[in-house]
Amino acid sequence: MFSEFDWLKLTAESPSMIILILFSIVTLGVAVERAIYFWRRRGNPDTMAHEVSQRLKKGEVKEALWSCGKCTHPVGPVLEIVVGAQSEEVADLDEKIYVELSRQKLLLERNLNVLGTMAGAAPLVGLLGTVWGIMRAFHDMARVGSAAPTVVAAGIAEALVTTAVGLVVAVPALILYNHFIRRSTVMLTMSENHARTIRAWLARRSGSGPSSPRPTDGVRESATQSMPAPQPVSVG
Instruction: Determine, yes or no, domain membership for 155.
Output: yes
Instruction: Determine, yes or no, domain membership for 108.
Output: yes
Phi, psi of 202, rounded to the nearest 5 degrees: -65, -35
CA atoms within 13 A on the CB side of 189: 20
Instruction: Determine, yes or no, domain membership for 227.
Output: no
The residue segments making up the domain with residue 102 are: 2-207
Find all residues with CB under 8 Å of 44, minimum gap 6, and list them: 73, 234, 235
Find all residues with CB under 8 Å of 62, minimum gap 6, and list them: none
Instruction: Determine, yes or no, domain membership for 229.
Output: no
Rounded Cα distance between 102 and 106, Å, is 6
pLDDT in tens, 146-171: 656 666 666 677 778 889 999 999 99
pLDDT in tens, 48-82: 999 999 998 888 889 999 999 999 999 999 999 99
pTM equals: 0.77
Greater model confidence, 137 or 20: 20
Q: Does residue 145 come out as left (phi exceeding 0), alpha (psi in the -120 to 50 range) or beta?
A: left
Report how many domains make up the chain: 1
Say which DSSP state 14 is in.
Answer: -
Instruction: Determine, yes or no, domain membership for 214.
Output: no
Rounded Cα distance between 232 and 236, Å, is 13
Rounded Cα distance between 207 and 35, Å, is 44
Find all residues with CB under 8 Å of 50, minimum gap 6, and list them: none
Instruction: Determine, yes or no, domain membership for 48.
Output: yes
Residue among 223, 202, 221, 203 at smallest CA distance from 211? 203
pLDDT in tens, 109-154: 999 999 999 999 999 999 988 888 888 777 777 776 665 666 666 6
